[in-house]
Amino acid sequence: MTHDEWTRVRELFDAALTRRSSERAAFLDETCAGSPSLRAEVASLLDAHDRAADFIEAPAYEVAAHLFADAIDHPVAGRAVGPYIIRHEIGRGGMGVVYLADDTRLSRRVALKAIVPGTGSDATRRARMRQEARAAAALSHPGIATVYALEEIGEELYLACEYVPGRTLRALIESERLALPQVVDIAVQLARALAAAHAQGVVHRDLKPENVVRSGAGVVKVLDFGIARMENAAGARLTPTGDMIGTPAYMAPEQIRRQRVDFRTDLFALGLLVYEMASGSNPFEADTATATIARILEVDPLPLSQVSGTGLPALDRIVALCLRKDAESRYASAERLVADLEHLQAQLAEHRDDAPAELPRAGGSAIVESRTRSAQWWWEFHQVAVSMLYVSMMYPAWRARAWLPASWGTFFFFAVLAAVATSTTVRLHLRFTARVYPAELAVQRSRALGWTRVSDAGFSLALLLAAIGIEHAHPEIATLLVTVSIAAAVASFTIEPATTRAAFAQHPSTSTLEPPRRARRTQR
């Protein structure tokens, strides 16, 4: 058809449409006389027009809306998925949407997890998922939400799991400050669940507060045991824009470094859960994922008791052992962790009426006898002893003043007075903080360090100079001054750093100890 012919078709089509359909045939006969092909063309277009009805009247995006609906292409309430009837959505996890559903075959409720579409098409991936699901389904423990089945319905994959009504640990942590016995109770239940799974060779890999549910009766269950790898296989932790869902805040260092992950990874996460339950915050969590990762790799959290004010060094030690950066130096098994936690729980029960701070001394076990605690006692003793010694030296200093040349004597005395006042005030303040506001201690210690060092040095130097001045007239007093001077210097620059390190550093390998975010925030 030439351009002119088509122009003619257009004209005739438009003109014909202005006429009644009964008159169109006659109109075409008249106008297309001698050109049957033109007539046929226009007539067929008119015919198509009459039959077209609503053809393409609705916009394309309406017609094709479902092409874009991947994200919501999931069953909705009342819809049947294989033998399951969906009730409603109960959550969205890394794997996709989770529904509460009824299993019509067994008349029980299940949590039905729709594994992100597209993951089921790959045969090898499917096989691996089946294998993982089988391993997870083999776990049978009251502390683990059972995996019932991996359902392959068409091209979609669904995981049917035990439905656990109750509140997640996340909700518990956010709504209330859990009491220590509660924390230990939850920890014991979690550790037993881990031990049972680890005994069968299944590692959770993604233990976090969202994956732990406590029922109204206080039974704690771990969700998604052994199926975390499916999520990673599905690549579903990334949103379309490539953002990570959630935070890496519960990953162990070896997970971040993509090294071998084994049961010790779960122990790290458990230690972190206990820390967060007791203190109310995750010590590694920072504003950005990168900062969080850096903290997990580099920062040793403050001992739990210093942050939470619970004063239970046994728990400190258990948590610190779980949170070791090096997986090898954590607990050698979840069983050991269970034993320690149960021991602690028994002691808590025994001493329920005692003040929490008295508990650790009551115990005879290796864990409850806290090395850290006695080191801190020595540190506090050091502060008090030094203060007393300094004050007692005011008398000899007063006497020595008179034996020195007049102006020198006065200067000497006031120098000693200033040093003693500064040093003792700061030291007693530190001891007070250690007792009353343990969470602030780290910050106060770093602030005080300069003051004590300078005043100690001034004190030693003043005594030494005075001793030289009175050496001939009063050799005995001069000897005393020199002795105290040397003792003070040694105490300040050698003994005190040692006791401080013993009391406050968990691992000698790590030199910096940052207080967790919450503690820092209160400083500002």
- The reply on whether position 66 binds another protein by CB under 8 A is yes
> What's the min distance (Å) between Cβ of 209 and another protein?
29
Assess contact for 268 and 252: CB atoms under 8 A.
Answer: yes
Residue by residue, DSSP assigns 190-218 as HHHHHHHHHHTT---S---GGGEEE-TTS
- The reply on whether position 80 binds another protein by CB under 8 A is no
Using CA atoms, how far residue 415 sits from 143, 409, 425, 476, in Å, is 67, 10, 15, 22
Catalytic, 206? Answer: yes
Specify the pairing of strand 220-222 against strand 108-115. Answer: unpaired
In the region spanning residues 160 to 199, those forming contacts with another protein, defined by CB under 8 A, are none
Residue by residue, DSSP assigns 77-118 as TT-EETTEEEEEEEEEETTEEEEEEEETTTTEEEEEEEE-TT
CA-CA-CA-CA dihedral for 475, 479, 481, 484, to nearest 10: -170
CA neighbor of 100 nearest in space, from 89, 116, 115: 89
**Residue (23 or 354) nearer to another protein, CB:** 23
**Residue (14 or 30) nearer to another protein, CB:** 14
Residue linked to tokens 């069983």: 335
**Residue (1 or 127) nearer to another protein, CB:** 1
- The reply on whether position 92 binds another protein by CB under 8 A is no
- The reply on whether position 65 binds another protein by CB under 8 A is yes
- How far apart are alpha carbons 70 and 20 in whole angstroms? 47
In the region spanning residues 465 to 524, those forming contacts with another protein, defined by CB under 8 A, are none
Say which residues have a Cβ less than 8 Å from residue 110's Cβ, sequence separation at least 6. Answer: 84, 100, 101, 102, 103, 148, 160, 161, 162, 163
Using CA atoms, how far residue 394 sits from 90, 348, 390, 443, 467, in Å, is 72, 48, 7, 30, 14
* Only segment of 70-78, 211-219, 370-378, 384-392 that touches another protein (CB under 8 A): 70-78
**Residue (26 or 71) nearer to another protein, CB:** 71
| Catalytic entry in 102, 103, 185, 206 | 206
| Choice from 20, 22, 72, 107 touching another protein (CB under 8 A) | 72
Residue linked to tokens 């997640």: 168
> What's the min distance (Å) between Cβ of 53 and another protein?
9
**Residue (48 or 402) nearer to another protein, CB:** 48
Task: Dig out the tokens for 10 from the structure.
Answer: 């257009």
- The reply on whether position 10 binds another protein by CB under 8 A is yes
Q: Is 224 exposed, middle or buried (0-12, 13-18, 19+ CB in 10 A)?
A: buried
> What's the min distance (Å) between Cβ of 19 and another protein?
14
| Choice from 23, 40, 68, 475 touching another protein (CB under 8 A) | 68
> What's the min distance (Å) between Cβ of 13 and another protein?
5
Q: What is the helix (H) or strand (E) element at residue 156, kind and residue range?
A: strand 156-162
**Residue (241 or 509) nearer to another protein, CB:** 241
* Binding track, positions 32-61, relative to another protein; x by CB under 8 A: ------------xxxxxx-xx-xxx-xxxx
> What's the min distance (Å) between Cβ of 65 and another protein?
4
> What's the min distance (Å) between Cβ of 14 and another protein?
5
- The reply on whether position 20 binds another protein by CB under 8 A is no
> What's the min distance (Å) between Cβ of 74 and another protein?
10
Say which residues have a Cβ less than 8 Å from residue 124's Cβ, sequence separation at least 6. Answer: none
**Residue (10 or 257) nearer to another protein, CB:** 10
* Only segment of 10-18, 286-294, 334-342, 392-400 that touches another protein (CB under 8 A): 10-18
- How far apart are alpha carbons 130 and 111 in whole angstroms? 18
Task: Dig out the tokens for 203 from the structure.
Answer: 């590692």
In the region spanning residues 98 to 127, those forming contacts with another protein, defined by CB under 8 A, are 121
Number of residues interacting with another protein: please give it, by CB under 8 A.
Answer: 35
**Residue (165 or 235) nearer to another protein, CB:** 235
- The reply on whether position 154 binds another protein by CB under 8 A is no
> What's the min distance (Å) between Cβ of 276 and another protein?
35
- The reply on whether position 71 binds another protein by CB under 8 A is yes
Write out the catalytic residue numbers. 206
Residues within the interface to another protein (CB under 8 A) = 1, 3, 6, 10, 13-14, 17, 44-49, 51-52, 54-56, 58-69, 71-73, 76, 121
